[in-house]
Every structure is written in C-alpha cells, then in structure tokens.
Amino acid sequence: MSETFAGFGESSGAGWRPCIVVVDFIVGFTDPATQLGADFTAEVEATRELLDIARAKGVPVVFTTVAYEPHFRDGGHFVVKVPALKLLVQGSTWTEVDERLARLPSEPLVEKKYASSFFGTPLASMLTSFGVDTVIVTGCTTSGCVRATALDALQHGYRVVVPRECVGDRSQAAHEANLYDIQTKYGDVVSFPEVRDYLSKLN
C-alpha cells in the first residue's frame, strides 16, 4: 500500500483554531471483551495526553458516542449490516466515554447513529459556532468512524489532521490501508509528537 500518485497526497496543513474530535472512545469499543472492541490502551493514553494540552490551551474538545433507542429503528440498515452495534443502547454503560479520557462537563458529547461524527448530528454547527478551522481526529476505528469523520471534516470545509498513534482499529491491515487513503486524499496523517508540539505552541 505504498504506491504514490502524482497530484495526490499533498499537505493541507493545520490552521490556528483547531478542535479535537474524539471519535467513539466509548466503553463498547475500548473494552476488548465486546464484539465491537479491541485493546486501544495506547491510543486512549496518547489521546489523553493531547486532551490535557488542549484543555490547558482552551482548544475545544468534542466527544462522540454511538447510541440507539431500544427499538433500533434509528439505526437503519447499519444495525442489520453490523449487528454487533446492537450492544449500544441509549443509557447503557457501553455508550459512555472511556473514563481514562476524563471528559469535562463543558465538553460536548455528540450522539450519532452512523459512522461519520458529522452525519445526522449537530457537530458541524458546533464547530462553526466555535470558529474552528482544523479538525484533529482521534479515536476508533480507523477503518470505520475515524475515516468517515476525517472524510466529512474535509467535506465540511475543514483542514484535517490525524495523529497516527491516537487512532486504532481491530485489524492492523485495515488500520494501515485507511491511514493511507486518508493521507492520500482527505487530510494529513502525522505523528503524535508533531500534533503535541503543534498544540503546545498555540497561543
């Protein structure tokens, strides 16, 4: 997956008013015992380190969760295609943000039904009212909700940054393939230290 094509994969860079979107680091995904989950300890800890800097700097942080009404009529054909999602009933522990991220009461939690954090949610409106120009995507899974969120962030007009060590997947092959696609077409896939330094230098 190392082909390069001329005219693809340039850097779109980062702006001055970033937001960190933490995608689906909820118990149903970070508990390796579930069908949905895997061991994302390293990715959660790297994300936490970014969040601590962001909080000190006043950079906005938004979390997402996936949660369905008990009848699942709000899940369309997604819950048919991926029945493992039926674990995620509104109000259940599975839909709560992983406590290692220490979500603050002032940090919005967006409930979604599908892969993209923007789709059918108020996320885009929030980012606009916050004056954001860059979306830093962390969370899981790289091949699912992370990629869908990175794609939609670009489509909504944002610069997109994905710190490689802050996103994870059940499958290492899918993880790599999707980072390749994101870097080629949708946003800049960069190292954790690079994002840490970028955030640290913001005024």
Just list the catalytic residues.
145
Question: What is the distance in angstroms between the CA of the first residue and the CA of the last residue of the chain?
Answer: 38
SS (H, E, C) 27-63: HHHHCCCCCCCCCCHHHHHHHHHHHHHHHHHCCCEEE
Taking Cα atoms as reference points, which of 51, 72, 82, 74 lies closest to residue 145?
A: 82
Is residue 89 close enough to count as binding a second copy by CB under 8 A?
A: no
Binding test (CB under 8 A) with a second copy, winner from 120, 191, 197, 200: 120
Bridge partners for 97 per DSSP: 26
Fill in the amino acid letter for 158. Y
Q: Which stretch binds a second copy (CB under 8 A): 22-30, 42-50, 146-154, 190-198?
A: 146-154
State the nearest-atom distance from the C-beta of 118 to a second copy, in Å. 9
Binding test (CB under 8 A) with a second copy, winner from 51, 54, 97, 113: 113
State the nearest-atom distance from the C-beta of 86 to a second copy, in Å. 8
Is residue 70 close enough to count as binding a second copy by CB under 8 A?
A: yes
Q: Reduce the DSSP state of residue 115 to 3 states and report it.
A: coil
Binding to a second copy in span 159-178, by CB under 8 A: 159-160, 170-171, 173-174, 177-178
Is residue 24 close enough to count as binding a second copy by CB under 8 A?
A: no
